[in-house]
Structure 1
Amino acid sequence: MRYLVIPLVASILFPLTTVAKTTVDVYHAEVVLSNEKNARSIAWGEGLEQVLVKASGNADIADNEVVKKAMRDGSDYLAKFKYGTLNGQKSLDMQYSPKQIRVLLSQANASVWPKERENVLVWLVQDDNVERQVGWEQSGLDSVAALQTAAQQSGLPITLPLGDMDDLTKISAPDLWGNFPEPLEEASVRYPADSVLVLKVAANGPSSEVNWQLYDMAPDSITSSPQSAITGVETGEVAQAIDKAIAKISAYYAKKNKPSSKQVADDALWAHFSGIQSAQSFFNLERSLLNLESVATVQVHSIQGMNVTFNIQLLSNKADFEKQVTGLKGIEKTQAPVDSAKVAEQAATEQLIQADESQKVNQTATQEMNEVDPDISEPEEETADEVLPVEQQLWFSL
C-alpha cells in the first residue's frame, strides 16, 4: 500500500517531527478483468466506483442515482488506462480524470474529500476467546489484513505500529483493551500521525464485534486534551465490522475537510423549450430529459407562458445532449433569439424577483417560528445564479 510506507519510514528517521497530511492517490484503480464479453466496460464502471468512494469518503456513493447513470460508461471519466496483472490475473489499470470526478460528485450533490488527508495511527487488539493480541504491522493477523484492505478502499491513510522492542515495553494488549490513555499516548508519540484510532476486535464469527475509539488529535495530546474520543461499535464478520468502522471514520474526515467554497459543476447549460401546451406536456418533457444518458440533473429555471427554461447539469457534453434531445419525438432544435443577451438578462431579472419574493416569505415564516422557538436561526441569504453565456444555452420547440 503506497501511502502506508512513507509514514513508517518517517517515524524511523524523524520520530519527533510534526506531521503534514498524507497525499492519497485517489484517482487510480485497478480491476481484474472478468470473462464477460464486455469485460472492459464492466471494469471501467467498477474502477469508477472505487475512485468515487475514495474521492468522497462515502462507501455508499454507488447508490446515488446520478452516479448509477455515470457508471454505465465509466470510460467517460478516464484519463488513461493500461492492461496489467493483479493477483496473477489479467487486469485493467486505470487513472481517472480528477476534474471529471469532481464535477460528477458535484452533480451528485456529494462532497469532495481533498486528497491531502490526516494520517491515522491504528492500534488494533484482537480477542479470539483464547488470547488477546496486538495487531502489529507484520503480525499476520487476518484482522490486520482486513484493516489494510478497508483503509485502501476508503482512501484513509493509516500507520500500523512496528511492534519492536520500543512498542513492547510501552504498551500491551491489556492496556489497549482497558482503554488506558497514558500508555496509549506514550507508545504513540514516536509515530508521525495526526490522530490515533483504537480498534478492539472481539472475534466470534458472524457475531464478532468491533469497538472503536478515534482520538482526533496529535498523539501527545491524548491525556491532556479536554476533547473526548469519538466512539462506535460495529458487528458482523470481523472483516465486515472493520470495514464498517473504517467507512464511518472516513466519512467523518471527509465531512470535516469538506471544502468551504460552494462547488459548481463546469458542465451546465440552460435548455429553452417553446410550444408547451399543457402541464402534462411539461412533466413528460422533464421526465424525458432526466432519462437522457447525458443528463445528471434537471431543474426548472423559469416558466413564462408556453415557454420553459431548464437548468441542466451534464454527465457528458453539450453536443451529446443536443443530439439526444433532438432524437426525442416531437422536438426540434431552433435558433437562438436575435437578441439572446436580452433574453438571458430577462431570465436573470425574473430569477432575482423570484428570489426576492422568496426571501420575504422566508423572513415572515422565520419571524413567526421565532415567536414559538427563539433559538431558530434565520436562513442564509441566497444569491441568484449568474447568467450563463450564450454558448451554454440551447433552444428547442415542441
Structure 2
Amino acid sequence: MEIKGLFEAEVITRSQSRDDRNAALREALVIVLNRVMAGPDIMQDPTVLTALNNAAAYVDQYQYALASGGKGANSPRTMRVMFNEETLMELMRSSQLSIWNEVRDQVLMWLVVEQFGKKEMFDISRHAEVNTALQAAVKLQGIPVLLPLMDLEEKQRVRTKDVLSAYPEHLQEASVRYDVSAVLSGKIVKQRTCWRSEWTLNFNNKIEQWTLPCTKLKQNLAATLQHVYTQLSVFYAVNAGQAQADMQVLKIAGIRGMTAETNIKKYLRELPMVTSVKWIQVEQGRHVFQLQLSGTKAALQEQLELGLVLREKGRDVQDASFLYELIKQ
C-alpha cells in the first residue's frame, strides 16, 4: 500500500523564536529521515549531519498550533513541518545510504495486552490507550500495521497462548488468510506507571525476538516499530541513485474529470512492473504522473501499447518523460 505523509512530521516547540524553530525543524527532519532512509548509523552520515545543521533549507512550509492543553501565548506549540520531497531526494542521492519508498507491505500484528494480571487479545474498543499509542507509532515510523479481524472463527482458533508461544507454527497458520510477508506478535504489560513488552518478528523466513524495558506506552510502541522498520528497510530499501534510475514520468493528455484521473492511476498501479504511482500536476493540459518501476522502461512502454488505454505520442525533449494521450475514458 502507498503510505501518505512520509515527508511530514509534527513536533513540540517551546515558542516561535528563531532558536526554538530551528531546533524543531531539525527534530522534524530527524523523524522524516528515520522513516525513509536505511543503513547503519543514519544520523552519523556526513551528508545527513550537514543537512540537519541546515534543516530549514529542505522545508516547503510549516504551521503552528497550540499543543494539547496549552492556553496562553507562552504555552508549548505543535509545529507541523512539510519537507520538499525532491530536495530531500537530492540529498539522499549524495549520501551512501538507501531509501525505502512509499509503497510498503502491511505488517500483521498479533498483540496481547496484560493489565492487572489479566491477559487479553488486543481490542480497539477495550484498549483505547494502547490503540492511541499504536496509531501514533504507526504514523511516526511509516509502518502500515494490519490488525487481525478477530471474527468468531479467529477467536476460536487463536488464543493468547498462541501469540506468546515459543513455537509460532499455529499463529503462522492463522496468518495465512492475510497474505502478508511480515508477522509481528507480542505482549505489552502494564506495570504501575510504565509498560514493558516482548516481541517476535517473522519475516523473510527468519524469526527475531526482543524485549523492551518498562517505559511510557507511546515510547515503547514507537521503539517497537522503529525496530521493525530497521529490519524491513534493510530488505526493501534501494540505493537512492538507483531509485531515481527506476523512476519514469508520464505526461498524459485527454484526461477529463476526477473519475478519469482515478481510473488512470488505478490502471497504472496494476501494471506488473509498476510499484507506485504519484500524481504530480497538470502541465499544459497533460496530467503528470511519476512511476516507480521494478522492471525496465522498455517493458513499461510495451505493456502500455498492449493495454490499448493510452496512445504513445513520443518524448518530451526537455526532461525525457513519456508522452501519451488517453484513448478511452
- Common fold by TM > 0.5: yes
Instruction: Point out where structure 2 has 5 or more consecutive residues left out of the alignment.
Output: 71-76, 245-329
In structure 2, the residue matched to 1:92 is 79
- Give the superposition deviation at 1:35: 1.9
Task: Indicate if the aligned counterparts of 1:234 and 1:242 stay in contact, CA closer than 8 A.
Answer: no
How far has the Cα of 1:167 moved from its partner?
3.5
The letter of the residue matching 1:75 is A
Structure 1 counterpart of 2:232, one-letter code? Y
Query: Are 1:83 and 1:92, in contact at CA under 8 Å, matched by a contact in 2?
Result: yes
Whether the 8 Å CA contact 1:203–1:238 is kept in 2: the answer is: no
1:55 paired residue number: 36
Equivalent residue in structure 2 for 1:148, among 115, 125, 135: 135
Contact 1:202 1:209 in 2 (8 A): yes
Could you tell me which residue of structure 2 aligns to residue 258 of structure 1?
237
Aligned equivalent of 2:101, options 107, 111, 114: 114
Aligned to 1:231: 209
Structure 2 residue 24 is matched with structure 1 residue 43: yes
Residue segments in structure 1 that go unaligned for 5+ positions in a row: 1-20, 218-226, 266-398
Aligned to 1:134: 121
Rate the CA distance shift 1:29–1:131 in 2: closer, same or farther, 3 A: same
Paired with 1:47 and 1:245, the residues of 2 have a C-alpha distance of 20
Q: Is 2:51 the partner of 1:70?
A: yes
The structure number with the bigger radius of gyration is 1
Q: CA–CA distance in 2 between the matches of 1:181 and 1:156?
A: 22
Distance 2:151 2:66 in 1: 34
Please give the secondary structure, in 2, of the residue aligned with 1:52.
Answer: helix
TM-score by length of 2: 0.59
Encode CA deviations 1:212-248: one digit per residue, 9 max, x unaligned: 222226xxxxxxxxx3423333334263444333222
* Cα distance between partner residues in 1 of 2:173 and 2:123: 16
Contact 1:27 1:51 in 2 (8 A): yes
Kindly state the Cα deviation for residue 52 of structure 1 after the two structures are TM-superposed.
1.0
| CA displacement at 1:198 relative to structure 2 | 0.4
For residues 75 and 59 of structure 1, do their structure 2 counterparts lie closer, same or farther at Cα, with a shift above 3 Å needed?
Answer: farther
Q: Percentage identity across aligned positions? A: 22
Greater per-residue strand proportion: 2
Shift of 1:256: 0.6
Selected match of 1:159 from 140, 146, 157: 146
CA 1:137–1:210: 2 relative to 1, 3 Å: same
Which amino acid in structure 2 is aligned with residue 156 of structure 1? I
Q: Which amino acid aligns with 1:27?
A: F
1:117 aligned counterpart, secondary structure: coil
The 1:135–1:179 alpha-carbon spacing in structure 2 relative to 1, beyond 3 Å, is farther
**Contact in 2 for aligned 1:159/1:193 (Cα 8 Å):** no
